[in-house]
Amino acid sequence: MIRKKKARCFFAAVCCMVLSTPLFTIAGVNLKNGNFYITYTDHDLTKSNGISIDRTYNSKTTSIGLFGFGWGSELETRLFAMGDGSVYIREFGGGSVTSFLQSVEDDLLLTTCINNIAKAAIENGDLVNNPVAINNFKKLMRESEERRRNSWEKYQTAGLLQMPAFPENTKWTTRDLGSQELVKTADGFKRQYNDGSYFLFNNDGLFTGKYDKYKQLVYTLAYNDTKQLRLITDKGGNQYAITTNNDGLITRLQTKQGTSVYLYKDKSLISTTDAGGNKYNYTYDDKYNMTSIGYSDGSFLKIEYYNVTLFVKKITDRNGTVTEYVYKNFYDAEGKINDNHYATWVIKANSYTNQPDSNYYEYEVRKKPNGASYTYRIVQRINGIETETVYSETCNNPVLRRKGVRETTFQYNQNCDLIYKETYDYIARAEYDEKLRKITRTEYISKTDGDTTINTFTYNANGDLVKATEGNKWILLSYNSEHKIVKMEYEDGILTYEYNSIGKPSNITVSGKGSITVEYDKYGEISKVESPDGSKTAIAVTQAMQALLSRTKPKGLDFN
């Protein structure tokens, strides 16, 4: 028998493709804009074939989300359609914007859209009704997609503009966050990613469903008559019941894991208790910037900001460690501050030398033809080593990276898939299935000895990998209706997998060597692992999984 503690470590290491991975709290500072962010997981039912409920605070966010001022979540992802024929999606409610455009832009629609925004601005008291002011306003709207978008959203939310109607099957595309397509459906909109996964929105732009690359449900969202979120149901049948206050802010969220509670003051979240009973208190300054997080043990994390820019200045963590942030401006030929070129120093005491370490990060932003911004260049100087990265305007991925005297170049196909990478010591190439957008062949050429390694990949109609080869080595994979591996064959043996009702592996059998049986508690945690054949079965499974992982990972085709 394998002991439970060792078995848990074993499964976490070698069965990551069939076991759920927990989410962790993330916190930090965005060095581009001095934004402080922190994410909490209040419920985690991923081990019960469900989802996790996460919320993120951003100090630069000016919107009020389901969890108050500055907070956002995937649940709040919202679609807006504009009068110029374009559509955009606000990620996480108040997060970044993904713009979708039709293949042919209509200047008449754009002009009509700008005219309607101007009328709404006048009606709302934001624009003086005289020809000069109106013409200047319209010029600004035409020059800036972002300004036009923000104005449209403001007046649509106020009821002064209406979401336009589009014919069914109207299509839009974007590459803001990878290649995506948006399609008008009878019930709303379908946002499809290049891996086959998609989001659904209703005709009001509310997020109603998330589906994975196999077109299987991840979760759905249901709203009441006033468009407030009331219930989430995930693929495992788990339900997340939501209670809101008069301002539409979530005050309680209940699942089988427990109840999380949220307290507010003037629409700012000041206290939370998650499903596990962990309590946090938050304070803010008069500009809604979070200034401290209080923990149950009496400790605090403190955040300080610069007065004018509101960029993070200093963070003191719970054990007293201080990290400081210093920002640098660059100037254009006219001596004015260049808002598209800036840098940040991160200064933190070195616990070994008791001297401050200073790392440097520089960013250069440029505009695309449609007015959207993209990061053109990043320079990092960490521990005295400088790395410069230049990015593609079309794909937003790196095309050149210099580290010291060494250079790495990248090339992409029309779908922004990586097809070529060259470093000082190797060249890697990739070919793709045009329909599935998956790698079918890779070539790795060593510049040191000239050796060439070729890998091939074959898929079924669902896009599941069914065969992988590397020279005379091979792997064959079979799947069930849930797209989980049920059989793996390779030159050293055969493994078969069985799953329980929540999609967790319950039995792994190695042909001719034995099997491993796994049991779980009601939360999806491993509670018992048994193997009558002892450690030899575990070793055989480990070797098979290592072979699978090494042969299915395209060699050299990463962004490092």
Which DSSP string corresponds to 297-315? TS-EEEEEE-TTT--EEEE
Decide if 466 is inside a domain. Answer: yes
Q: What is the pTM of this model?
A: 0.81
Query: Which residue range forms the structural domain that includes residue 125?
Result: 107-157
Which residues, at least 6 apart from 261, have a Cβ–Cβ distance to it below 8 Å?
A: 251, 252, 272, 273
Domain count along the chain: 3
- In the numeric block, which tokens belong to residue 319? 């054990």
User: Bridge partners of 40?
Assistant: 55
**pLDDT for position 11:** 40
**Three-state secondary-structure class, residue 134:** helix
- Look at residue 25 in the predicted model and tell me its pLDDT: 66
Express each pLDDT in 360-417 by its tens digit: 999 999 998 877 789 999 999 998 899 999 999 999 999 999 998 999 999 999 989 9
So what's the pLDDT on residue 178? Answer: 65
Distance CA 311, CA 288 (A): 13
- Rounded to an integer, what distance in angstroms lies between the CA atom of residue 519 and that of residue 507? 9
Nearest 5°: CA angle at 45, between 44 and 48?
A: 155
User: Is 302 part of any domain?
Assistant: no
Same domain assignment for residues 335 and 392: yes
SS3 call for 526: strand
Phi, psi dihedral angles at 160 (to 5 degrees):
-90, -20
Residue 35 token pair:
């934004």
User: Does any domain span residue 253?
Assistant: no
> What is the pLDDT at residue 174?
86
393 in a domain, yes or no? Answer: yes
pLDDT, tens digit, 9 for 90 and up, residues 218-264:
999 999 999 999 999 999 999 999 999 999 999 999 999 999 999 99
Determine phi and psi for 336, rounding to 5 degrees: -95, 150
Is 456 in the same domain as 539? yes
Q: Which residues contact 201 (CB under 8 A, 6 or more apart)?
A: 78, 79, 188, 189, 190, 191, 207, 208
Q: Are residues 389 and 327 in the same domain?
A: yes
End-to-end Cα distance, the chain:
42
Whether residue 293 is contained in a domain is answered as no
User: Are 459 and 522 members of one domain?
Assistant: yes
Average pLDDT across the chain, whole number: 91
Residue 65, domain member (yes or no): no
Angle, in degrees to the nearest 10, between helices 131-143 and 145-157: 110
**Domain-embedded: residue 165:** no
Instruction: Using the 3D structure, point to which of 157, 183, 199 is the last residue of a domain.
Output: 157
- Would 339 be classed as within a structural domain? yes
User: Which portions of the chain are predicted below pLDDT 50?
Assistant: 1-24
Rounded to 10 degrees, the C-alpha dihedral 537/542/547/550 comes to: 170
